Amino acid sequence: MISADMEGATGVTWTDDVVPGTEQWQRFRRLFTGDVNAVIAGLADGGATDILVNEAHSSQRNVLLEDLDPRAHMLTGRHKPLSMMEGIDTGVDGVVFLGYHAGAGCDGVLSHTYLPNQITGVWLDGVPASEGRLNAALAAEYGVPVLLVSGDDKTCDDAHDYAPDAEVVAVKQCVSRYAAVCLPPSRTAADLTAAATTSMRHAGRGNPTTTAHHIDVEFDASHLAQAAAVIPTVEQTGVRTVGFDADTMTDAMKAFKIVTAIADGAVQGKYG
């Protein structure tokens, strides 16, 4: 399975590159699809016989189906119970985090966790958590190893901590939130294919790990924490923070989705 996000794709450096409907987005859809196809080729070379691409960015309608490598099939569109990780519970033998990015409050190109800028920090069981860390914990619940992570160099540094056995590919070097030293698609494609092929040596389901978890979320404004705290089981723990417990990571991620949706709905124009 490939969980395909877009902020960490080849060449992406700023907002318009990933916002559906912009001219830049149309351009980077092609580069994004190229990254996906490069990984599909590598997984197939490594022995994969059934490859699911789960679109994981924004509208989740970004990869160009007409250009997709025919050795894969694609899950596209919203809304999905497990969002970025829909399909992880279908018996897959490994997951690739393609086009990922650093977490909220961290240095990295377009770094964030679920919401573009309203969240300033997320912690999973007390540890700062990117989308990658959250999704890796969910994969572990189904015994699925993280095979490969791609994005900028900050994303790869993060992955070394939460998925130490995974292959990593830095398609760009972070200069700032909106700037990076980028490799051209011909080079990133070769790197992604080679890493995906190598990563297949780690494929194969292990023992599922189901444990209770605690998630804390820090927002950039107090009214967002107040809005999220109306959700049963979610407690406002500070002026701008909420926290909640869940018996499983699946439940934790579903609750996190609700928290972010409620907070996003409470944002009002330029004042947030």
Topology, domain 2-113+131-202: Rossmann fold (3.40.50)
Positions of CATH 3.40.50.10780 in the chain: 2-113+131-202
- How far is the C-alpha of 72 from the C-alpha of 56, rounded, in Å? 16
Positions of CATH 3.30.1360.130 in the chain: 213-265
DSSP symbols for 173-220: EEEETTEEEE--HHHHHHHHHHHHHHHGGG-S--------EEEEEEES
Instruction: Please identify which residue in the block is written with the tokens 């859809």.
Output: 29
The stretch 107-123 carries a mean pLDDT of 97
Res 270 pLDDT > 90: no
Instruction: Please identify which residue in the block is written with the tokens 């900028």.
Output: 152
Q: Are 174 and 107 in contact (CB under 8 A)?
A: yes
What local confidence, expressed as pLDDT, does residue 3 receive? 98
Question: How many Å is the Cα radius of gyration of the chain?
Answer: 18
Asked about 223 being catalytic, the answer comes back as no
Reported pTM: 0.97
For residue 245, give both structure tokens: 């417990």
57 is in an annotated binding site: yes
141 is in an annotated binding site: no
131 is in an annotated binding site: yes
218 is in an annotated binding site: no
Q: 73, 79, 112, 160: which is the annotated catalytic residue?
A: 112
5 is in an annotated binding site: yes
Residues 6 or more apart from 60 whose CB is under 8 A from it? 76, 77, 78, 80
Q: What kind of architecture, by CATH, is found in domain 213-265?
A: 2-Layer Sandwich (3.30)
* Percent of the chain scoring above 90 in pLDDT: 96
Q: Are 104 and 50 in contact (CB under 8 A)?
A: no
Convert the pLDDT of each residue in 148-194 to its tens digit.
999 999 999 999 999 999 999 999 999 999 999 999 999 999 999 99
